[in-house]
Homo-oligomer: A and B are copies of this chain.
Amino acid sequence: MRRVGLFSATLAVLAITSMTAQSADDIKPPSGYRNWFHVNTMIVDKASPLFDSLGGMHNVHVNSAGEDALKKGSPYPDGTVFVTDLHDFTVSDGSYVEGKLKGLAVMVKDAKKYEATGGWGFQFFAEGDANKPLVTDATKQCFECHVPQKTHDYVYSTYIP
């Protein structure tokens, strides 16, 4: 996958993992993210080897704390939050159409608090529900796939004017 995905944890892994190390229990689903800066959209289609884990329409937003860093390139200041507003999609006559919400993937920057995972806290909320967090081991479920992006502060998304 190119440098466009916000998170690389697989939902398949999420579903079968029961470890509790580095759980970011303090992360909550943010509100108002659809008024945050729209970073990019990516669709992971059925033909992708990632479809089972990451299939859907990924609408990526960043909050105001991280907007300048996105535009300039990393590093991101503490307080930056990325959200992937993940939706189903349908294909109709060659058009890919947004469907219902599948979940929210959240990355929160706090260099000290999340030092073990590159300064980022990770969580995924099924259906955007605060009571349905799926990440119990951020290192294995999320961070390990972000390590190749170390030079970009572990973020895949880039600024597209």
Contact = CB atoms under 8 A, between A and B. Distances in A.
Interface of A: 1-2, 4, 34-38, 40-51, 57, 59, 61, 85, 87, 92-101, 160-161
Given A35-B35, A61-B38, A45 B96 contact: yes
A69 to B, nearest CB: 15
Given A2-B97, A43-B43, A98-B160, 10 more contacts: A34-B38, A35-B38, A38-B38, A41-B41, A42-B97, A43-B96, A48-B93, A48-B95, A50-B95, A101-B160
A95 B43 contact: yes
A133 to B, nearest CB: 19
A68 B129 CA distance: 23
Nearest to A92: B2
Q: Give this chain's copy count.
A: 2
Contacts of A61: 38
A96 B58 CA distance: 10
Contacts of A45: 94-96
A47 B94 CA distance: 5
Nearest to A41: B41
A37 B34 contact: yes
Nearest to A157: B98
B161 A101 contact: yes
A99 B40 CA distance: 9
